[in-house]
Structure 1
Amino acid sequence: MIEFKGVSKTYDNKQYALSNISIKIDRGEFVFLVGPSGAGKSTFIKLLLREIEPSSGTIMLDDTVVNKLKRRELPFYRRKIGMVFQDFRLIPTLSVYENVAFAMRVIEAPQREIKKKVPMALSLVGLSSKYKQFPHELSGGEQQRVSLARALVNNPSILIADEPTGNLDPETAADIMNTLNDINRAGTTILMATHAKDIVDSMKKRVVAIEKGVIARDEARGKYGYED
């Protein structure tokens, strides 16, 4: 489903952010992306989103050669990917319902589809009763659930979560991980970048560790492997 073939990325200082990365992630996998700050995790995600282009190598998503996409093709490509951030990135002036609906309005989905799918997405993350509230009226965990619903409402085949539990207390983080696990079991491929050692160690998912721009470990039921 996702494949990096000999992918390297250098920036203006000629330093390798990623160097000759080759990896495959199958449909339906749950993969933790770990490693020290500055190791190349963010570059990996930006390449997959086609926010940046590789200096060499090929990136595939299904049958699409990502690094050969034309600019006009990018919005359609990115519909396949849902993105969840550490800082939620909700629009403060919009209600919970409208924050989730916004992701559908951007792709010009018909109103009847919005009315059908937004309640379904909110139900999936346990927020059906909060649809009229605004972000400032929600807890951090609830805001992250809205972010999850927004990422899922267009039925992406892949969900990328960048430190989704970083601003949450341990109990709330565990709830979010349970929701992510349920989403994965329903068939969505999940790639999660994290420094949360306890979460990685307890979930026993595939762990891909990036260090100094290369893949240092790739373990089927891996552990975090770094000291805080």
Structure 2
Amino acid sequence: MIEFKNVSKIYNHNIFALSNINLTIDRGEFVFLVGPSGAGKSTFIKSLLKEVDPTSGNIVVNGTDITQLKRKDIPYYRRKIGVVFQDFRLIPNLNVYENVAFAMRVVQAPIKEIRKKVPMFLSMVGLSTKYKAFPHELSGGEQQRVALARAIVNNPSLLIADEPTGNLDPETSMEIMDILNDINHAGTTILMATHARNIVDSMRKRVIAIEKGVVVRDEQRGVYGYED
């Protein structure tokens, strides 16, 4: 599903954001990406989203070497990946239904399919009754549920979650994690960057730890392993 082959990313002044990363994430895995601030997690994710290119090495996603992608093909590649951010990134002047439908319109899904799938996915995240609400009328947890529905409505094989519980209280965070777990059990590969020790320690999924651009730990059923 994902393979990093000798991947390094060097920024100005010879600063290594990633240093000779070699790892494989199999289809259907749930993986936490952890490490202190500045460790390289953001560069790791941006590399997967083709927002930055590695200085050296290759990244293969779903059999495609994305380091070789032409610029015109990048939008089509990104459409196959679901992404959820800490700050939700909902479109403020669209209601819940329209925010989720927007992701389907981008890929030119038929109107009939949009009308069928959007309510289904809103139901999956527990927001069936909120479809007419606008983002400012929702709690943080509800906004993140909308963001999740939008991220998965096109059935991506990979979901990248970048600190998805960072702005949420502990109870709401666990509700979001339950939804992510369900999405994973349905077959979607999930890569989640997080500083949430309690979540990582309670779920005991695979943990990849990065420090100063280097993978220092890769454990099945791992724990967070850093001081807060």
| TM-score normalised by L of structure 1 | 0.98
Match of 2:13, SS?
coil
- Spell out, residue by residue over 1:175-224, the C-alpha distance to the aligned partner (whole angstroms, 9 max, x if none): 00011001100000000000000000000000000000000000001000
Q: Which residue of 1 aligns with 2:216?
A: 216
| Structure 1 unaligned blocks of 5 or more | none
* Aligned match of 2:193: 193
Aligned CA RMSD, in angstroms, stands at: 0.7
Code of the aligned partner of 1:212: K
Shift of 1:5: 0.3
- Structure 2: gaps of 5 or more residues: none
Aligned partner of residue 165 in structure 1, secondary structure = coil
**What's the offset of the Cα at 1:133?**
0.6
Distance (whole Å) between structure 2 residues aligned to residue 4 and residue 62 of structure 1: 12
AA of the residue aligned to 1:62: N
Which letter does structure 2 place at the counterpart of 1:118?
V
Corresponding residue of 1:41: 41
Residues 14-51 of structure 1 show CA distances to partners (whole Å, capped at 9, x for unaligned) of: 21100000000000000000000000000000000111
Partner of 1:70: 70
Q: 4+ residue stretches of structure 1 with deviation over 2 A?
A: none
How far apart are residue 122 of structure 1 and its match? 0.7
Identical aligned residues as a percent: 75
| Equivalent position of 2:125 in the other structure | 125
Report the more deviating stretch, 32-41 or 61-70.
61-70
Q: How does 1:153-192 map to 2 (within 5 A)?
A: 153-192=153-192
Q: Distance in 2 between matches of 1:105 and 1:14?
A: 42
User: What is the identity, as a one-letter code, of the residue corresponding to 1:201?
Assistant: D
* SS at 2:52 equivalent: coil
Q: Distance in 2 between matches of 1:108 and 1:166?
A: 32
- Alignment length (residue pairs): 228
- 2 CA distance for matches of 1:63 and 1:227? 37
Q: Distance in 2 between matches of 1:192 and 1:166?
A: 12
Tell me the TM-score normalised to structure 2 length: 0.98
